[in-house]
Chains A and B, each alone.
Chain A
Amino acid sequence: MNFPILSSILIVPTLGVLLILLCKPEQKTAIRVISLISTGITLLLSIGLMILYDRQTGGYQFTEFKPWVPQWGINYILAVDGLSIPLVFLNAIAIFTGVLASWHIEDRTKEFYALLIFLATGVFGVFMTQDLFFFAIFYEVAVLPMYLLIAIWGSGKNREYAAFKLTLMLFFGSAFVMGGILYLYKAAGLNTFNLMELKRLAQYPKEIQKILFLLFFIGFGSIVPSFPMHTWSPEGHACAPTAVSMLHAGVLMKLGGYGLLRIAIPLLPSGLHDWALLMMGLSMCNIVYGAFTAIAQDDMKFMVGFSSVSHMGMVLFGISTMTLTGINGAAFQMFAHGLVTALYFSSIGVMYNKTHTRMISELGGIANVMPRAAFFFAIAGMAGLGLPGFAPFVAELMVFIAGVSKYPMYGIIAVISVVVTAFYIIRCIQKTYFGNTNPKWKDLRDATNFEVVPLVILVIALFVFGMYPRLVLDLMQMETKNIIAKLALM
Chain B
Amino acid sequence: MSENIKLATWVVLSPFLSLLVIGVFTRTYKKLSALVAIAAISISTILATILYFKNLYGLTAETHYFEWLITDYFTLKFGILIDSLSLGMMMVVCIVSLLVHIYSWGYMEGEAGLSRYYAWLSLFSWAMLVFVVSPTLLQAFFGWELVGAASFLLIGFWYYKPEAAQAARKAFVMTRFGDFGFFVGLLILLVIVGNLDFHVLNKLGTSLGVSPRLITLTALLIFMGIMGKSAQFPLHTWLPDAMEGPTPVSALIHAATMVAAGIYLIARAYGFFSASTFAMEFIATIGILTSFIAATIALVQNDVKKVMAYSTISQLGLMVAALGAGGYKAGVFHLFSHAFFKALLFLCAGSLIHHFHTNDMWEMAEKGGVKKMKITITTLIIGSLALAGCPPFAGFFSKDAILVAFEMNGKHMFMYLTLLISFLTTYYSFRMIFVLLSPESEHHDHKEKHHGHGHDSPANMTIPLIILAIFSVLFGFVDTPLMNGYFDKFLLNKHEVEHLHWSVMIKSFVVFLAGISFAYIQFAGKKGYREGFAEKIGWVRALLVNKYFVDDFYFILVRGLVYPFAAILNWIDRKIINDTGVNGSGNIVIYSGRFISSLMNGLLQRYLGTSLVILFILVFLWQLI
User: B187 contacts A404, CB within 8 Å?
Assistant: yes
Q: Is the CB of A430 within 8 A of B165?
A: yes
Q: Given A296-B570, A401-B190, A401-B191, is A434 in contact with B69 using a C-beta cutoff of 8 Å? A: no
Residues of B within 8 A of A426 (CB): 152, 168-169, 172-173
**A388 adjacent to B581 (CB under 8 Å):** no
Contact A293/B569 with A415-B187, A422-B172 known, Cβ cut-off 8 Å: yes
Q: Is the CB of B146 within 8 A of A404?
A: no
Tell me the bound Cα distance from A232 to B566 in angstroms: 19
- Of A228, A388, A418, A469, most buried by chain B (CB within 10 Å of CB) is A388
Selecting from B89-97, B177-185, B464-472, the interface stretch reads B177-185
B183 contacts A400, CB within 8 Å?
A: yes
CB–CB A169/B191 < 8 A: no
Closest to B142 in A: A388
Scan residues 33-92 of chain B and give those whose CB is less than 8 A from a CB of chain A. Answer: 67-73
**A421-474 CB contacts (< 8 Å) to partner B:** 422-423, 426-427, 429-430, 433-437, 468-470, 473-474
Against A, the Cβ 8 Å flags (1 = close, 0 = not) of B557-598 are 000001101110110010001100111001000000000000
A389, chain B: closest CB distance, angstroms: 6
CB of A387 within 8 A of CB of B146, answer yes
- State how many angstroms separate the Cβ of A10 from the closest Cβ of chain B: 33
Q: Is B145 engaged at the interface, CB distance under 8 Å to the other chain?
A: yes
Are A368 and B160 in contact, CB atoms less than 8 angstroms apart? Answer: yes
Which one, A14-22, A36-44, A209-217, A320-328, is touching chain B? A320-328
Structural contact, B187 and A401, CB atoms closer than 8 A = yes
B489 at interface, CB cutoff 8 A: no
Which residues does chain A contribute within 8 Å of B69, judged by CB atoms?
394, 398, 469-470, 473
Let me know if A418 and B176 touch, CB within 8 A.
yes
Contacts of A165 in B (CB 8 A): 582-583, 586
A89 to chain B, nearest CB (A): 19
List A288-329 residues whose CB lies under 8 Å from chain B: 289, 292-297, 323-325, 328
B: number of interface residues (CB 8 Å): 50
Which of B145, B152, B570 has the largest count of A CB atoms less than 10 A from its CB? B570
Cβ contacts under 8 Å, A430 to chain B: 156, 165-166, 168-169
Q: Is A251 an interface residue (CB 8 A)?
A: no
Residue in B closest to A309 when the chains form the complex, CB atoms: B573
Chain B residues lying within 8 Å of A382, measured Cβ to Cβ, are 149
B162 in the interface, Cβ–Cβ < 8 Å? Answer: yes
Whole-angstrom CA separation of A400 from B189 in the bound complex: 12
Question: Within the assembled complex, what's the spacing in Å between the Cα atoms of A296 and B562?
Answer: 10
Closest to B164 in A: A434
| Interface residue ranges of A245-271 to B (CB < 8 Å) | none
| B570 A411 Cβ-Cβ under 8 A | no
* A392: interface (CB < 8 Å): no
B566 touches which one: A235, A295, A411, A416 (CB < 8 A)? A295
In the complex, the answer to whether A434 meets B160 with C-beta atoms within 8 Å is yes
Q: How far is the CA of A468 from the CA of B68 in the complex (A)?
A: 7
Question: Is A367 part of the binding interface, using a Cβ–Cβ cutoff of 8 Å?
Answer: yes
Name the residue on B nearest A164 (C-beta). B586
Pick the contact of B586: A168, A423, A434, A435 (CB < 8 A). A168
Q: Is the CB of A435 within 8 A of B160?
A: yes
B520 contacts partner chain A, Cβ-Cβ < 8 Å: no
Question: Is residue A419 contacting chain B, with contact meaning CB distance below 8 A?
Answer: yes
Cα–Cα, bound, A489→B598 (Å): 56
* Residues of the A chain whose Cβ atoms lie less than 8 Å from the Cβ of B179: 418-419
A419-B180, A469-B69 as given contacts; A293 in contact with B570, CB under 8 Å: yes
Task: Among B72, B146, B160, point to the contact of A367 (Cβ < 8 A).
Answer: B160
Contact A419 B149 (CB under 8 A): no
- Chain A residue numbers with a CB within 8 Å of B159 are 367-368, 433-435
Given A387-B149, A388-B142, A435-B159, A169-B582 contact (CB < 8 Å): yes
User: Does residue B17 face the partner (Cβ distance < 8 Å to A)?
Assistant: no
CB <8 Å contact, B142 and A389: yes
CB pair A297–B570 under 8 Å, yes or no, is yes
> Chain B: which residue is nearest A325 at the CB level?
B71
Whose C-beta in chain B lies nearest to the C-beta of A288?
B569
Contacts of A474 in B (CB 8 A): 70
Contacting residues of chain A (374-423) with chain B, CB-CB under 8 angstroms = 382, 385, 387-389, 393-394, 398, 400-401, 404-405, 408, 411-412, 415-416, 418-419, 422-423
> B566 — which chain A residues lie within 8 A by C-beta?
292-296
A13 at the interface (CB under 8 A from B): no
Cα distance, A324 to B73, chains bound together (Å):
9
| A228-B159 Cα distance, complex, nearest whole Å | 39
Q: Tell me whether B188 is interfacial, beta carbon within 8 Å.
A: yes
Q: By the criterion CB–CB under 8 Å, are B146 and A415 in contact?
A: no
B393 within 8 A of A: no
The residue in B156, B166, B187 that gathers the most chain A C-beta atoms within 10 A of its C-beta is B187
Q: Does A357 contact B (CB under 8 A)?
A: no
Contact A323 B569 (CB under 8 A): no
Residue of A nearest to B69 (CB): A469
**Are B160's CB and A436's CB within 8 A?**
yes
- Report A359 CB to chain B, min CB distance, Å: 15
Enumerate chain B residues within 8 angstroms of A61, measured Cβ to Cβ. Answer: none
Q: Which of B70, B172, B581 has the most CB of A within 10 A?
A: B172
Q: Provide the residues of chain A in CB contact with B583, threshold 8 Å.
A: 165
Determine which residue in A168, A429, A474 has the highest number of CB atoms from chain B within 10 A of its CB, and name it: A429
Q: How far is the CA of A160 from the CA of B180 in the complex (A)?
A: 41
Residues in chain A near residue B156, CB distance under 8 A: 430, 434
Kindly report which residue of chain B lies nearest to residue A228, judged by CB atoms: B577
* CB neighbours of A385 from chain B (8 A): 176
Q: Which residues of B, 130-157, contact A by the 8 Å Cβ criterion?
A: 141-143, 145-146, 149, 152, 156
A389 to B16, CA, bound (A): 12
A194 within 8 A of B: no
- A404 CB contact (under 8 Å) in B141, B149, B180, B191: B191
What is the CA–CA distance of A400 and B186 in the complex, to the nearest angstrom?
11
Given contacts A228-B581, A422-B173, contact A404 B160 (CB under 8 A): no
List A residues at the B interface (Cβ < 8 Å): 165, 168-169, 228, 231-232, 235, 289, 292-297, 323-325, 328, 365, 367-368, 382, 385, 387-389, 393-394, 398, 400-401, 404-405, 408, 411-412, 415-416, 418-419, 422-423, 426-427, 429-430, 433-437, 468-470, 473-474, 477, 484
**15 new A-B contacts at CB < 8 Å, known A415-B180, A437-B160, A469-B69:** A165-B583, A231-B581, A325-B72, A387-B146, A388-B143, A401-B187, A401-B191, A404-B187, A418-B176, A419-B180, A422-B172, A430-B166, A430-B168, A430-B169, A434-B164
Q: 5 closest Cβ contacts across the A-B interface?
A: A434-B165, A295-B566, A296-B570, A296-B566, A324-B72
**What are 30 A-B pairs with beta-carbon distances under 8 A?**
A165-B583, A232-B582, A289-B573, A295-B566, A296-B563, A324-B71, A368-B160, A387-B145, A388-B146, A389-B146, A394-B69, A404-B184, A405-B191, A408-B188, A412-B184, A415-B184, A419-B177, A422-B173, A423-B176, A426-B152, A427-B169, A434-B162, A434-B165, A435-B160, A435-B161, A470-B69, A473-B69, A477-B70, A477-B71, A484-B72
